[in-house]
Amino acid sequence: MLVQKYKDMLGNKSVIRTLSEFATARGKEIGYENVFDYSLGNPSVPVPQEFTDTMIRLLQEKDSVELHGYSPSLGIYSVREKIAASLQRRFGVPYKAEHIFPTSGAAGAIAHAVRCVSEPGDEILTFAPYFPEYGPYINLTGAKLKVVPADTENFQINFEAFEKMLSEKVAAVLINTPNNPSGAVYSTETVRKLSEILEVKSKQYDHKIYLISDEPYREILFEGADAPYVAKYYADTLTCYSFSKSLSLPGERIGYVAVNPACEDAETLIQMCGQISRGIGHNCPSSIMQLAAAETIDLTSDLSVYETNMNILYRELKALGFTCTKPGGTFYIFPKALEDDAVAFCNKALKYDLILVPSDSFGCPGFFRMAYCIDTEKVERSLPALRRFVEQEYK
């Protein structure tokens, strides 16, 4: 028999995908260059040439049986060492290879982290606005994702709501900073306060509450952002990372879980990841990707275009009267819609060939997301359409 829970999911088409398909179809009518498609969060800047050169060199120089051979079940040791050394160098946390588990991107990292620390029936809290895929990521393990309402002022944490929801059933808290969709970066004050609450509650409930920190946008930070390295502030942190945004290779599915060495079970948790992998069939990311990512560990693509685009959009949105928190990173901006119903707002925008994503599926109604991982030239060309949209529909 087909398993009903997966069959039932087939009907639910994601809003973002529907909008993206609309954009593609409209592009066929008027030319895609004339569709101001802010729907998809796909990196738009080239992969660093050094990464490509490294791949080619590995292919040309390394023995093919060794290059493409099985990784050990915990990942290639030299790769784990290089990732640990980089984290240590950059953030001053004394990771060793034994604290690193390479994964199939951040999705794979979260799949392992969640299974390490939660049983079916446990709750995992996250904060609105949140990446909608957290729903299936968590709920399909049997644990339950609960969403803490947003701090719509600054897109930091609504601590009052959080403390109310932080019951004994909570096994872990999942955060995402820099944040998709808000573009906000949690401040040192926010991370410190979060950590203090988790410490108090872990003692009170006599079980650790783990912090799963999903950080694929870590390298896309804008001027002035106070961007603390989360694990420095809380011992029981599992950091989930992906090279998808930093190296512009989301399709290559390469990332890792890093467990804070200050966590008393750090090495055990990594070994557990190896066991979890057997059950979910990952068995490590691609060998050559592990090697190439490790050899270019501190490089990134030229990510500056995202900040350029953000500044253009932020200035324009403010000038048009939008309420909008200035993003500290990512390639997203998250303004308040000009009417309560963000779906209606985004539908009206389609008439102006503006593809905006309503915030309902991010757990924070009344806002919209623009993914500005597109050419700056197109961002600039979209401004007159944005102006027309606001003037004709809302003035």
Q: Which of residues 249-268 bind a second copy (CB under 8 A)?
A: 249-254, 265, 268
Q: Does 239 bind a second copy (CB under 8 A)?
A: no
List Cα–Cα distances, 142 to 114, 120, 121, 139, 351, in angstroms. 10, 4, 6, 5, 42
- Of 84, 147, 289, 324, which lies in the binding site for a second copy, with binding defined by CB under 8 A? 289
Q: Write the CB contacts of 175 (distance below 8 Å, at least 6 apart in sequence).
A: 126, 127, 186, 194, 211, 212, 213, 214, 230
Torsion of CA 241, 247, 248, 251, to 10 degrees: -60
By the rule CB under 8 A, 45 interacts with a second copy:
yes
Question: Do the strands 170-176 and 210-214 form a parallel or antiparallel pair, or are they unpaired?
Answer: parallel
Cβ atoms of 361 and 132 closer than 8 Å = yes
Using CB under 8 A as the binding rule, whether residue 46 contacts a second copy is answered as yes
Question: Does 3 participate in binding a second copy (rule CB under 8 A)?
Answer: yes
Give the binding-site size for a second copy (rule: CB under 8 A).
Answer: 75
Nearer to a second copy, 201 or 336 (CB): 201
Instruction: Please state the closest distance from residue 133 (CB atom) to a second copy, in A.
Output: 6
Closest contact distance (angstroms) between CB of 87 and a second copy is 21
Instruction: State how beta strands 255-259 and 357-358 pair.
Output: unpaired
Between CA 333 and CA 354 the distance in angstroms is 14
Q: How far is the CB of 209 from a second copy (least distance, A)?
A: 10
Q: Which residues within the stretch 317-356 sit at the binding site for a second copy (CB under 8 A)?
A: none
Q: Does 204 bind a second copy (CB under 8 A)?
A: no
Determine if 25 is a binding residue for a second copy (CB under 8 A).
Answer: no
Burial class (CB in 10 A: 0-12, 13-18, 19+), 217: buried
Residues 101-140: x/- map of binding to a second copy (CB under 8 A)?
A: --xxx-xxxxxx--xxxxx-------------x--xx-xx
Our finding on whether 374 is near a second copy (CB under 8 A) is no
Residue 309 within binding range of a second copy, rule CB under 8 A: no
**Residue choice 218, 282, 369, 378 for contact with a second copy (CB under 8 A):** 282
* Other C-beta atoms lying within 10 Å of the C-beta of residue 7: 10
State yes or no: residue 64 binds a second copy (CB under 8 A).
Answer: yes
Q: Name the pairing type of β-strands 368-371 and 332-333.
A: antiparallel
> Are β-strands 144-148 and 368-371 bridged in parallel, bridged antiparallel, or unpaired?
unpaired
**Residue at 145: amino acid letter:** L
Question: Is 60 an interacting residue with respect to a second copy (CB under 8 A)?
Answer: yes
Among 39, 126, 141, 180, binds a second copy (CB under 8 A): 141
User: Does 92 sit near a second copy (CB under 8 A)?
Assistant: no
Q: What gap in Å lies between CA 36 and CA 285, rounded to an integer?
A: 35
Q: Is 246 in the site for a second copy (CB under 8 A)?
A: no
Nearer to a second copy, 134 or 345 (CB): 134
Q: Which is nearer to a second copy, 43 or 365 (CB)?
A: 43
Closer to a second copy by Cβ: residue 141 or 190? 141
Binding flag, residue 24, a second copy (CB under 8 A)? no
CA 138 to chain centre: 15
What residues numbered 165-184 form the site for a second copy, per CB under 8 A?
A: 171
Nearest CA-CA partner of 175 in 161, 157, 160, 154: 157
